[in-house]
Amino acid sequence: MVSDLIPGRECGECQACCIVPGIDEPEMQKRPNAVCRHCLKGQCDIYESRPSVCRKYFCGWRKLAFLDDDWRPDKSGVLIESGNTAQFGPGTMLLILMGNPLKTVRQQRFIDFVCGNLQRNLVMYLSLPGPPGKNAAALPLNTPEMRAAMAQTRSHVRLALEKTLQRLSAHEFVPHVMEHHGNDFSS
């Protein structure tokens, strides 16, 4: 919903939502982690007439005021989906790691973000996109292991995040099966 957006916060050159999420709607389909065919030279070539599914999608950075400019997905390496995520339900935050996931989970800023939100009892998942056309892997961060790490030091939290990432990386990514057909925007 456009009224939920942070005033003055624009996508700029970020195109994470044109690549990472899969779209399976009657008007448009795009395989997960595949570039939309309309994403050209750093911009959408049909932006003014883009499908409604694109007009309605906004990442967490566009909606969450507590995230500063450095959390824009192309800068942070994290595409945040918040609210009512289709797979995990209302009140969930999905942290989708892009680019260099190991570097991201080792950053103090990321560790502090995870700890702060877990202390507020926000339901959080760490996710790793699969290869193009395959489903992502996701694991909960609200675990006894993560809580035990938080009770110790940031280094313990970093190690717990690295272990979660290692489990995600070992996941056997399965092909994404589309329910709808006929308007594939995947490049």
Mean pLDDT, rounded, for 108-130: 95
Report whether pLDDT(172) > 60: yes
Taking only the tens place, the pLDDT of each residue in 21-79 is 999 999 999 999 999 999 887 788 888 899 999 999 999 999 999 999 999 999 999 99
Mean pLDDT, rounded, for 80-103: 85
What is the overall mean pLDDT for the chain?
92
Mean pLDDT, rounded, for 131-137: 94
For the chain, percent of residues with pLDDT exceeding 90: 81
> Which tokens in the block code for residue 145?
């292991």
Contacts of 68 (CB under 8 A, 6+ apart): none
Whole-model pTM over 0.75 = yes
Query: Domain residue spans in the chain?
Result: 2-169
* Residue type at position 3: S
> Which tokens in the block code for residue 136?
């992502």
Q: Parallel, antiparallel, or unpaired for β 43-44 and 78-85?
A: unpaired
**pLDDT given for residue 75 in this prediction:** 95
Distance of alpha carbon 55 from alpha carbon 73, whole angstroms: 18
DSSP for 13-58, please give it: T--GGGTSS-EEETTEEE-TT--BTTEETTEETTGGG--HHHHH--
